[in-house]
Structure 1
Amino acid sequence: MKKATYTLASILALVFLFGANSVNAQEVEDEREFDYAKGSDKGPRKWGELKKEWAACKDGKLQSPIDMSNERVRVITKPEKRNYKPFNATLRNRGHDISLRWHGDAGSILINGTEYPLQQAHWHSPSEHTINGRRYDMELHLVHQTSDLNVRSRTAVTGVFYKIGKPDKFLSKLMTNISSMIDQKDEERNMGIINPKDIKMNSQRYYRYMGSLTVPPCTEGVIWTLNTKVKTVSKDQVKLLREAVHDYAEENARPLQPHNSRDVYLYGPGDTSD
């Protein structure tokens, strides 16, 4: 892979693709409005037809997830800046996934000079994104949003890939509470202080591209950051996450979307050539 050097202006172009209006993406919380079942009238291929507000799911040109192909990647030497800290959090069964929401300042990530505070995390199994065609066993999404009205892309999501192996220590802390809310949509548990740093995203190499939410309304203008380091999760942990949600969401991964010649950047400190 050839290494390329880009100006700050070209990097900032990732954030300023969407005209004058700010994009503040919000996921649909009510899972009864859509599902993941193959052939379902509410399945992924039908999402864009269910509501006019969800038209982007069908007609959008910058939809997520996509495949991270090394043939399409542009390499840039620049480390990611994360500043997470512990805060009170609540675990919730949303029906289509299990989410962990922080209720206060749990830190942020810094993208092109803008801080995006961490809001919540949730899990997809199998992974939604793929790397060079490989789909992993699980993908964690950390959702960040900024209230800065001067920023056009106000949502940034960090993705972490997992393969079957040793149990994930962060998930292990949540297992008992997840077990207690199997098939109980909207059930919540107060988890007390949870430190996002315990997820331990040790890699400084990551992909970045402009995409969308992977659930309705599939809003575009989301800055995606995908860690290249693949962590491990046990079969029992993946099984529990699937059992906890409704039957049609046991595999809650949206199919891959067209790439549409988007720029995908590979960031990292020092020599990032493969």
Structure 2
Amino acid sequence: MRTTKTTFIAKFFLLSIIIMLISCEKKAKEQNDTTDETAMDSTSQVAVAPKSARPVEWGYEENGPDKWGSLSPVYATCGSGHSQSPIDIQKTKLKTGANLNFAYVPSESFTIAHNNNMDNIVDNGHTIQVTVEGGSVFTFGQKAYNLKQFHFHTPSEHTIDGKHLPMEMHMVHQSEDGSLAVVSILVKEGKAKNKNFENIITNLPSSKGESKDVKNSKIDLTTHFPKNISAYHYIGSLTTPPCTEDVQWVIMEDMISLTAEEIKAFSSRIGKNNRPVQKLYDRKVALDNFSGTTKG
């Protein structure tokens, strides 16, 4: 009787151990399966995640400038950057002795487009953009930048002593190492028509998304510049998401003029597309009388 009882206890104890081992093995397998699935999902997400420089649609009213920095991690610099553009330009006596030179060549043809988002060198947002033939070079200091395109903002993005101008023209350049430089020309209202803009205004797209290839129509870019080439300059950013910084900005001190009708030809199409001015922080804005030339 004692032996039978002892045998029963031994078998019960052994069975309990076996059940415990099976249970532990099952839990371990479940954990491993879960870990493997998580790893697989993670790998799958990385593999299929779409690569986009513009993951979220932005604008100037809905999803406007005050929200850009929070729309996507890709746009975070729009909200957290300390070298953002545009800025308010105030009169300054600071000079650096920097040298500026424009070696622009006439373009025999150009493409003009009105798109919400441009997919080329920089995202210009909602604007009218003109892309010209290559060969025009802008040199700042020792670095050369090739002109890629120019576009317009109404009203101006940069302000002078707190005041906006009716329009601003941005000439976007890129160097061989990928660095960006933007030359800004401010536009004021005048009484005389600006013949230099006739080709552009005549060929302005009539609706968003439209693009025109204009052939055999010479456009001399040097004629867009004011005669005096003294200019403000500072380090800033793109004025649209992703608001990339370390952009060399040059804002011509003198302005060009267009009539109210000519300015309206742009503003009626692109609307208000200016980003508010940003904090200067510890940056310095200099004004230099450049010894370079605007003729190629």
Matched, 1:237 2:249: no
Quote the Cα distance in structure 2 between the aligned partners of 1:228 and 1:135.
14
Matched, 1:129 2:158: yes
Query: Could you say which residue in structure 2 is the equivalent of 1:34?
Result: 58
Can you list the C-alpha shifts for 1:73-107, whole angstroms capped at 9, x where unaligned? Answer: 512345521100023321111231101012322x1
Verify the 8 A CA contact 1:127 1:137 in the aligned structure 2. Answer: yes
Matched, 1:141 2:166: no
Query: Could you say which residue in structure 1 is the equivalent of 2:104?
Result: 84
Between the two proteins, the alignment pairs up a number of residues equal to: 227
Can you list the C-alpha shifts for 1:87-131, whole angstroms capped at 9, x where unaligned? Answer: 3321111231101012322x1111121110101000111110012
Can you list the C-alpha shifts for 1:220-244, whole angstroms capped at 9, x where unaligned? Answer: 0100000000111111122111222
Matched, 1:218 2:240: no
Can you list the C-alpha shifts for 1:163-220, whole angstroms capped at 9, x where unaligned? Answer: 1113332222211211xx2223243333544221121332221000000000111000
The structure 2 residue matched to 1:45, chosen from 49, 66, 71, is: 66
Q: Which runs of 5+ in 2 are unaligned?
A: 1-52, 117-125, 292-296
Verify the 8 A CA contact 1:128 1:254 in the aligned structure 2. Answer: yes
Which residue identity lines up with residue 222 of structure 2 in the other structure? Answer: K
Quote the Cα distance in structure 2 between the aligned partners of 1:112 and 1:80.
6
Query: Could you say which residue in structure 2 is the equivalent of 1:184?
Result: 208
In structure 2, the CA distance between the partners of 1:144 and 1:33, relative to structure 1 (3 Å rule), is same
Verify the 8 A CA contact 1:183 1:243 in the aligned structure 2. Answer: no
Identity of aligned residues (%): 31
Quote the Cα distance in structure 1 between the aligned partners of 2:288 and 2:210.
37
Verify the 8 A CA contact 2:88 2:159 in the aligned structure 1. Answer: yes
Verify the 8 A CA contact 1:139 1:159 in the aligned structure 2. Answer: yes
TM-score (norm 2): 0.71
3-state SS of paired residue (2:202): helix
Verify the 8 A CA contact 2:100 2:141 in the aligned structure 1. Answer: no
Verify the 8 A CA contact 2:153 2:168 in the aligned structure 1. Answer: yes
Quote the Cα distance in structure 1 between the aligned partners of 2:155 and 2:208.
21
- Largest Rg, 1 or 2: 2
In structure 2, the CA distance between the partners of 1:134 and 1:221, relative to structure 1 (3 Å rule), is same
3-state SS of paired residue (2:203): helix
Query: Which has more strand, going by share of residues?
Result: 1
Give the CA RMSD over aligned residues.
2.1
Quote the Cα distance in structure 2 between the aligned partners of 1:52 and 1:98.
27
Query: Could you say which residue in structure 2 is the equivalent of 1:97?
Result: 127
Displaced runs of 4 or more, over 6 A:
none
Quote the Cα distance in structure 1 between the aligned partners of 2:152 and 2:215.
17
3-state SS of paired residue (2:253): strand
Which residue identity lines up with residue 171 of structure 1 in the other structure? Answer: F
Q: Which runs of 5+ in 1 are unaligned?
A: 1-27
